[in-house]
Structure 1
Amino acid sequence: MKPRSSLQIQKSVIFALVLREARSRFGDRRMGAVWLLLEPICHLLIFSLLFGMLRGRTVSGVEYPVFILVGMAPFLLYRNTALRLMDSLRENRSLFGYKQIKPLDTYVARVLVETCIATTVYAIIVFGFAWYGFDMSVHSPLQWVATLGLGLLFAFGLGMLLALVTHALPSLKIVIRMAFFPLYFISGVLIPASYLPPAMMPVLLLNPFLHILELIRAEVLPHYIPVDGVSVTYVISFTMVLLFLSLGAYRARRMHLISTKNG
């Protein structure tokens, strides 16, 4: 039997981890699959009704449900990816007894599963919106896909860093989860960034999520203009630094991650 290369072994490991992760996410629990679709729909309905009562049915020239979906879907993907990576060490602890499986493999598998789930849910909702008559076309599809990919790289780096931090300090997990709640509002998920307080904008623009969502909306909605200060260069630079730090810290502590029970 021909021996396999290290790359072939890693591909097989990641594929097996993807299957395991998908099965653990769904398994025999139908409500788990249903909730993946219900969560964004509930967000859309609640905030569409509230915004409609307060400011009307449109924002930036498009129907508000379309506006919020364009920003909410990627934010939920990035949030879920970061938090799932944060919990990966604890939930896959038993697998690290096999020398072929490394923590990085579980990170990659979780990113792939989260992306597939989010893509499927988004496609279902977009089909429903189009069926009801909403315009769901994308103004600049290539740039949109590139920005989505950049945001996913950012979430991957963030998730790895959170996993390393919470491995050393497990009590921080609840604080990190709570921190995503204000991020939901100050990242422009529900309203255009131009509606946020101008005096706070220099501070708010430090948030990469705000840049990513503004860029995504500008690439999907033909008449949407991002707030001054939004820059793809900032997101790329932030992501590269984050990946450098997280991968470097992972390499330095990879044996410690496997040998201890924290996280």
Structure 2
Amino acid sequence: MLLEPIVHLLVFSLLFAMLRGRTLSGVEYPVFILVGMAPFLLYRNTALRLMDSLRENRSLFGYKQIKPLDTYLARVIVETCIAATVYAILVFGFAWFGFDMTIHSPLEWVATLLLGLLFAFGLGMLFALITHALPSVKIVIRMAFFPLYFISGVLLPASYLPQAMMPVLLLNPFLHILELIRAEVLPHYTPVDGVSATYVISFTTVLLFLSLGAYRARRMHLISTKNG
């Protein structure tokens, strides 16, 4: 878990330094990429691990007190604790080497992180329900996160993405979340026009409504069958 973000940081920081220099949007590039990469990996891992949680925890459903929703919530807590620990280690490491790791708006930053986590929870639940009915879709979902890594503003500001495609790219909630997070951490960072917390809140509310509604309709079927 610690190795993945370190490898990403080293590889992309070296590539960027060779191509464009060490700074981006007035901040050292390793700091810029860490601020966006850490939350994205948390949300990706949460959604994908929720997708697999039925299969991984099926033996627990023999206990009547344990429901699939319990395993979803437990997985979110575990992934959050792991990600927070890894992020803290990296932040202390960056600070040790002289990088400025202060957070411009800490309360707003925490609120946006939690909003993103709710979005990942709803997305993961929906993935779990879909792949329980259609297990072969799992590989497609996993592959979809590869292009998302590049079009969500993890490596570059959204302003560097093709402007002609921006109306389509702004349909992606991850792009909004990462732009908001960077604006709350980096004092001189300005999100692209169209980025909105309201959009993410609305999208997440609808997603949670759909996923929890589908879960309620199929909760007994999730326990009684071995798909997923």
TM superposition shift of 1:130: 0.1
What do residues 137-175 of structure 1 show as CA deviations (whole Å, max 9, x unaligned)?
Answer: 000000000000000000000000000000000000011
What is the count of residue pairs matched by the alignment? Answer: 228
Residue 41 of structure 2 is aligned to residue 44 of structure 1: no
What do residues 201-228 of structure 1 show as CA deviations (whole Å, max 9, x unaligned)?
Answer: 0000000000000000000000000001
2: CA distance between counterparts of 1:252 and 1:171? 22
Residue 185 of structure 2 is aligned to residue 220 of structure 1: yes
What do residues 219-261 of structure 1 show as CA deviations (whole Å, max 9, x unaligned)?
Answer: 0000000001000000000000000000000000000000001
TM superposition shift of 1:97: 1.3
1: CA distance between counterparts of 2:102 and 2:57? 40
TM superposition shift of 1:94: 1.1
Aligned residue for 1:48, secondary structure, equals helix
2: CA distance between counterparts of 1:151 and 1:57? 29
TM superposition shift of 1:196: 0.2
1: CA distance between counterparts of 2:163 and 2:2? 35
Larger Rg: 1
Q: Runs of at least 4 residues of structure 1 off by over 3 A? A: none
CA RMSD of aligned residues (A): 0.4
1: CA distance between counterparts of 2:219 and 2:178? 33
2: CA distance between counterparts of 1:224 and 1:129? 19
2: CA distance between counterparts of 1:71 and 1:125? 13
1: CA distance between counterparts of 2:32 and 2:60? 42
2: CA distance between counterparts of 1:164 and 1:38? 30
Sequence identity percentage: 90
Aligned residue for 2:2, secondary structure, equals helix
2: CA distance between counterparts of 1:88 and 1:101? 13
Extract unaligned runs of 5+ from structure 2: none
2: CA distance between counterparts of 1:247 and 1:158? 11
TM superposition shift of 1:58: 0.3
TM superposition shift of 1:47: 0.1
What do residues 76-95 of structure 1 show as CA deviations (whole Å, max 9, x unaligned)?
Answer: 00000000000000111111
Correspondence for 2:225: 260
What do residues 18-65 of structure 1 show as CA deviations (whole Å, max 9, x unaligned)?
Answer: xxxxxxxxxxxxxxxxxx111100000000000111111100000000
Correspondence for 1:204: 169
2: CA distance between counterparts of 1:104 and 1:248? 12
2: CA distance between counterparts of 1:182 and 1:54? 21
2: CA distance between counterparts of 1:99 and 1:79? 30
TM score, norm. by length of structure 2: 1.00
Extract unaligned runs of 5+ from structure 1: 1-35
